[in-house]
Amino acid sequence: MRISKTFLAISLLVANVGVNAESKPIDIVVHRSPTCTCCGKWLEHLKENNFNVEDIVTNDVQSIKDKYGVTREMASCHTAIVDGYVVEGHVPANDIKTLLKTKPRVVGIAVPGMVNGSPGMEMGETKDPYKVMSFDRENHAKVFNSYEGTQ
C-alpha cells in the first residue's frame, strides 16, 4: 500500500509542476499595421495558446523588419519578438514554443507571405500547404516545420 501512496504523491507532484510550467504566459511583442485584420486573428491564436501579447500598432512595420533582419523572402504582414527571437507572419503558437524550448542559433522563424489556413488566415475549410522557415543573420533559411494542406 505504501508504494501506491508514494507513487500517487509523486505523480501529483509531477503533474502539478507540469501545470505550473505551462501556466506561466509567454511574453511576446507584436508589431503590426493598423489596417491588417488577419493580424488580430493571429493575436487571438497566441492568447488562446498561453501568450501574453503586447500589441504595437504602427504605420511603419517595415522599419521593425529592417531592424531585426527580416528579408523580403521571409516577410509577412506582422513582426513579433519573443525572448530575443523574431517571429514573422502567421507562425503557429506551437512552433514558437518549440523555438523557445530548442533555442536554435537563428534570428527567428517565419511563415513568409499570407498563407490560407495558417493561424489567423483561416478562410473556409481548405488550407494551403506551408512551411515555417528558420533564418539566420547570413540569410540562410531552412525548414523548421511544415504543414500539409487540405482540399
Over the stretch 110-119, which tens digit does the pLDDT of each residue have?
A: 999 999 999 9
* pLDDT beyond 50 at 7: no
Provide the whole-model pTM.
0.83
30 class by beta-carbon count within 10 Å (0-12 exposed, 13-18 middle, 19+ buried) = buried
Strand-strand pairing, 51-57 and 26-32 = parallel
Structure-derived torsion over alpha carbons of residues 15, 95, 77, 36, reported in degrees to the nearest 10: -30
Residue 17 is predicted with a pLDDT of 44
Residue 142 has pLDDT above 50, yes or no: yes
What is residue 135's predicted lDDT score, i.e. its pLDDT?
A: 97
Domains of the chain by start residue, with CATH: 25-147 (3.40.30.10)
Residue 113 neighbours by CB distance under 10 Å = 17
**pLDDT band at residue 15 using 50, 70 and 90 as cut-offs:** very low
Give the pLDDT score at 1. 47
According to the model, what pLDDT value does residue 38 have? 85
Higher pLDDT, 151 or 67: 67
44-89: pLDDT as tens digits: 999 999 999 999 999 999 999 999 999 999 999 999 999 999 999 9
For the CA atoms of 135, 136, 138, 140, the dihedral, rounded to the nearest 10 degrees, stands at: -30
Which 8-state DSSP code applies to residue 16? H
Please give the pLDDT value at position 37: 82
> By the 8 A CB rule, do 62 and 86 touch?
no
- What would the pLDDT profile of 85-105 be if each residue is shown by its tens digit? 999 999 999 999 999 999 999
